[in-house]
Structure 1
Amino acid sequence: MACRISELVIDAEDPGRLAAFWCDVLGYVELAREGDGSIQIGPPGVGFGGAQPTLVLNAGRNPRLGKLPLHIDVNATDRDQDAELARLLALGAVPVDVGQTGEESWHVLADPEGNEFCLLRTQLKSI
């Protein structure tokens, strides 16, 4: 028997803002809102335990020190990488320079709170 990733937890100064951003990016919906301010989002009609992990945006104001050792990679499902990059930038993502050469097949971006993620080239099928 093995494990699989069921959810990813991200500390956020403004969980509502990040939940809205990631819902737009991933096509997710809000699944739950807890009394402590945390918000869980996930695929519509599936929720926790489906093929895709849910995201939990935890309310917290603990500043990060240095680069996070983990980041999210995303792939477009219904358009090419250039079109998806334009969409993500319009949603509020910003380009991040982490020392790229310009020859990479991915784009490094940050969400509205500065969490880095990468947009990969390969277009995937929707689940």
Structure 2
Amino acid sequence: MACRISELVLLCRDPERLAEFWCEVLGYVVLGRDDDGDVEIGPPDEGFGGLQPVLILSRSDQPRRGQLPLHIDVNPSDRDQDAELERLLAAGAVHADVGQTGEESWVVLADPEGNEFCLLRKRL
């Protein structure tokens, strides 16, 4: 038996705003909120313990220093990369420069708090 990723925790200044953004990006819903202001989001039909990991947006006032050592990659499930890029930009993502050459098959973006993530091509 092996482990699987069940949740990812992202430190942020505004958990509610990032929950709104990532719910829009991933088609997730808010699963819960705690008294500290943290927000848990996940798949609407599975919640915690399903096949997809949940995200915990955890309030932190600590300043972020540089690029995150881990980032999220997403790929469109029902449209091509260009259409998905338009949707993500409309949801609040912005282009990010992490030193890419312009020849990559992915697009580097950042969420509303500057956390980088990559939009990959649609998987067949």
For the superposition of Structure 1 and Structure 2, which TM-score range results when normalised by the shorter chain?
Answer: over 0.9
Amino acid at match of 1:107: V
2:31 alignment partner in structure 1: 31
Residue 57 of structure 1 corresponds to: 57
**2:41 maps to 1:41:** yes
Q: What is the CA–CA distance in structure 2 between the aligned matches of 1:72 and 1:90, rounded to whole Å? A: 19
Does the 8 Å CA contact 1:31/1:47 hold for their aligned counterparts? yes
Distance 1:68 1:24 in 2: 22
Equivalent position amino acid for 1:93 in 2? A
In 1, Cα distance between the equivalents of 2:23 and 2:67?
24
The answer for unaligned runs of 5 or more in structure 2 is: none
Runs of 4+ in 1 over 4 A off after TM superposition: none
Give the TM-score, by structure 2 length: 0.97
* Root-mean-square deviation over aligned CA pairs: 0.8
* Structure 1 residue 123: Cα displacement: 3.1
Structure 1 unpaired stretches of 5+: none
For the residues of structure 1 that align with 2:49 and 2:43, how far apart are their CA atoms?
A: 10
Distance of 1:94 and 1:113 partners within structure 2 = 10
The one-letter code sitting in structure 2 at the alignment partner of 1:120 is: L
Q: Percent identity?
A: 72
CA contact (8 A) 2:110 2:117 kept: yes
TM-score by length of 1: 0.95
